[in-house]
Copies of this chain bind each other. A is one copy, B any other.
Amino acid sequence: MLGEFEQIAQIMAPLAQKAKGAFALKNDAAVFHHGAGEEIVVTTDTLVAGVHFFANDAPVLIAKKLLGVNLSDLASMGARPTHYTLNASYPKDITTDWIKSFASGLGEMQDNFDICLLGGDTTHTIGPLTLSLTAFGTISQGMSLPRLGARVGDLVCVSGTIGDAALGLLVAQGKLEDQRGHLLKRYHVPIPRIHLGQELVGLAKTCLDISDGLVTDMAHMQVGIDIELSKIPLSKAAQQALEKDSSLLNSILNGGDDYELLFTIAPEDREKLLESAKKTNTDISIIGRITEQKALRLMKEDGTCLSNITPGYRHF
């Protein structure tokens, strides 16, 4: 096992190479700045072994999830990601090989999203592996996408497909089959919608990322919404699972970890949205609309109400 300083110098410092203000991770603090007319967007998430991931998950996947969930928060604000800091609390039995694999996962994500490690803190813990990551991005001043403020009549949209990660968790728990591995992959590695988020700046009225589940995150918008069940986009794998067991709809609607964007646009901006979808090569579905009622309702294709829905999930 490498000592703290060797581990930082040999494994982590290469990830900070491009950030001059990271001082090769030798300083107490790091320095960075934004351009004129921009501001910093900051977000932070903690993942705990045994709570947010399985302790024996591959370290590369844990790294990708940790960065992915934070980048997804930046995406929901419309920001361009730039840097991140990492707080790692390692249990005593962690190995140098584990940390190397973890760092390689961070490195792969860095390359994909053109970001750089800026600093952090390494401690040990008598408990489970605990990882906090704080991600920074920039955006034109005053242009970040809000999560509140959707207006009656606005169209409710989502990117990608919904429910795969929740079903992937069932796969990881041995409760569901997943022949092609699509669901498990979606559970392990969220794809932050960074390009779409930036494209939505000035177009979406409100935006958030689906981390707690479609229904819970719709409730976070604090408005009435009618969503049409048949419009909720499902992957082929999710469709097949649902055909075999219709009770999985509950997981699809309430399960978390999809990290797709949930956003609203004015009805007249439908064409612009289609252009944005094309430009960013992202599937986008219009699944419903903001209503005057304060309820979340699941609607049938004929416009009648299937059921009122309530958020069923809280962290604790």
Least CB distance, A124 to chain B, in whole angstroms: 5
Q: Is there an interface contact between A40 and B48, defined as CB atoms closer than 8 Å? A: no
* Chain A positions 30 through 68: 1 when the CB is less than 8 Å from some CB of chain B, otherwise 0: 111110101111111111101110000000000000000
Q: Are A28's CB and B76's CB within 8 A?
A: yes
Cα separation A73 to B293 with both chains bound (whole Å): 51
A4 CB–B CB distance under 8 Å: yes
If A40-B33, A42-B119, A121-B45 touch, whether A146 touches B89 (CB-CB below 8 Å) is: no
Q: Are B21 and A31 in contact (CB under 8 A)?
A: no
Q: Is the CB of B33 within 8 A of A123?
A: no
Stretch at the interface among A125-133, A175-183, A302-310: A125-133
Kindly report how many copies of this chain are found in the complex they form together.
2
In the complex, A174 has a CB within 8 A of chain B:
no
Interface residues of A in 133-155 (CB under 8 A from B): 134, 136, 139, 141, 144, 146-148
CA distance A316 to B89 in the complex (A): 11
- A247 interfacial contact with B, CB 8 Å: no
Do A147 and B76 contact each other (CB < 8 Å), given the known contacts A125-B127, A132-B46?
no
Contact of A314 with B by CB under 8 A: yes
